[in-house]
């Protein structure tokens, strides 16, 4: 065991580019400062499935990190520690590891007592989880239980409260702009509407920012239910003005039409955090646009190119920002370790690196300020930049 103690790192929730650079930054700095570093596999599942016995094979649950290991992975996308959506406070009996099945017999179980036992058995002095608000809400629970937690925000949706920026967001925006521009050739060749569904359950940042960057004519976000008649009218207007006679709309997966109470889901199945898998709003909009378009096109229907970008925007290597910010976040976390300050979330606030109490992740939702940043009638961003932070409407106010 290293002289200063043990730091453990985990990644939870969906994968994004930038996780491996964050793990690399934490590990190299920690090793050089004299700490031992453990990578916990598969998010919180690593601490749930761990068997606290020296004779047990826990290679599926943890990995002792070295500079060689993290240097090889540090330039790549995804997370080499793997990830899951395991929620230790709501663990289904079907997901219970064999060695705990006799202790927990309910259909849904809180196994936090064993998670704490495993943290103690591993000798973890500082726990650094990297994740979105679901993963970090459990980190806050552990912090309340006395675990020394320093959290790093990660999510393509950029909706972790307290920070302007979350790891993965820039690459998501970059990929969305790139892929949308590629699809323009097909939309233009056939003179169609182009409907692109992007990630964004509750927050529309991943639709707004690419639109602001010139990827689309209009965008639909979860914070503001929309009128399909108005969208059709606007897209027909945009199409008529374009030399190649096409127009583009980006649609957040959590968007809703007016008078609809629920989002569009692929199935009724939920994960351990109670989330159903979203998908289908792009299909609904495409069908409705075809049916409505003749009204705004001299009686002739306009066909639609409909594409869900899905995992294409979260795969592959990180872009420049998602290589730099995770490095900074990792070093900020180690700064706090060195000062023995825990229960914190590292963050960017108004363009400045900072940290704040971890309980911010459970205190509120971070969504687009519609009044300031979204023109509800025009279905597009408000282009006002004076005295705004560099990430524009993504700042957490």
Q: Which bin fits 350, alpha (ψ -120 to 50), beta or left (φ > 0)?
A: left
Distance CA 251, CA 255 (A): 7
Distance CA 13, CA 138 (A): 12
8 Å CB contact between 282 and 196: yes
159-178 per-residue burial string, b: 16 or more CB within 10 A, e: under 16? bbbbbbbbbbbbbbbbbbbe
Distance between alpha carbon 86 and the CA centroid of its chain, in Å? 16
Q: Which residue has the tokens 């000798």?
A: 123
Distance CA 85, CA 352 (A): 30
8 Å CB contact between 257 and 284: yes
What is the number of other CB atoms lying within 10 angstroms of the CB of residue 186? 13
292-320 per-residue burial string, b: 16 or more CB within 10 A, e: under 16? bbeebeeeeebebbbbbbeeebbeeebbe
Query: Would you call 230 exposed, middle or buried from its count of C-beta atoms within 10 A (0-12, 13-18, 19+)?
Result: middle
Q: Which residue has the tokens 């914190």?
A: 344
List active site positions.
157
Distance CA 194, CA 188 (A): 9
Q: Which residue has the tokens 């989002």?
A: 263
Distance CA 289, CA 358 (A): 44
């Amino acid at each position: 065991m290293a002289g200063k103690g043990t730091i453990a790192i985990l990644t939870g929730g969906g994968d994004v580019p930038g996780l491996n650079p964050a793990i690399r930054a934490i590990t190299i700095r920690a090793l050089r400062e004299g700490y031992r570093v453990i990578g916990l596999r598969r998010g919180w599942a690593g601490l749930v499935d761990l068997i606290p016995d020296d004779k047990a094979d826990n290679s599926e649950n943890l990995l002792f990190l070295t500079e060689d290991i993290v240097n090889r992975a540090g330039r790549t996308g995804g997370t080499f520690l793997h990830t899951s959506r395991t929620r230790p406070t709501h663990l289904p009996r079907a997901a219970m590891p064999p060695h705990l099945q006799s202790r927990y017999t309910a259909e849904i179980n809180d196994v936090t007592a064993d998670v704490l036992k495993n943290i103690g058995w591993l000798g973890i002095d500082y726990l650094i989880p990297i994740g979105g608000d679901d993963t970090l809400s459990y980190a806050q629970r552990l912090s309340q239980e006395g675990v020394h937690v320093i959290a790093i925000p990660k999510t393509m949706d950029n909706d972790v409260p307290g920070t302007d920026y979350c790891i993965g967001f820039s690459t998501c925006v970059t990929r969305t702009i790139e892929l949308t521009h590629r699809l323009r050739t097909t939309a233009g060749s056939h003179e169609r509407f182009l409907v692109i569904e992007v990630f964004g359950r509750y927050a529309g940042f991943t639709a707004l920012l690419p639109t602001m960057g010139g990827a689309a004519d209009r965008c639909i976000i979860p914070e503001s239910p929309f009128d399909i008649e108005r969208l059709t009218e606007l897209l027909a207007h945009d199409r008529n003005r374009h030399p190649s006679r096409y127009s583009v709309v980006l649609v957040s997966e959590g968007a809703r039409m007016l008078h609809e109470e629920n989002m569009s889901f692929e199935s009724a199945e939920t994960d351990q955090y109670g989330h159903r898998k979203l998908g289908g709003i792009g299909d609904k909009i495409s069908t409705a646009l075809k049916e409505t378009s003749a009204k705004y096109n001299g009686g002739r229907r306009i066909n639609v190119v409909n594409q869900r970008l899905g995992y294409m925007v979260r795969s592959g290597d990180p872009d420049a920002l998602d290589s730099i910010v995770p490095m900074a976040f990792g070093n900020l976390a180690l700064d706090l370790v060195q000062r023995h300050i825990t229960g914190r979330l590292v963050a960017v606030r108004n363009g400045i690196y900072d940290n704040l109490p971890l309980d911010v992740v459970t205190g509120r939702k971070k969504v687009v300020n519609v009044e300031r940043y979204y023109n509800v009638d025009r279905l597009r961003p408000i282009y006002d930049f004076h005295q705004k932070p560099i990430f524009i409407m993504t700042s957490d106010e």
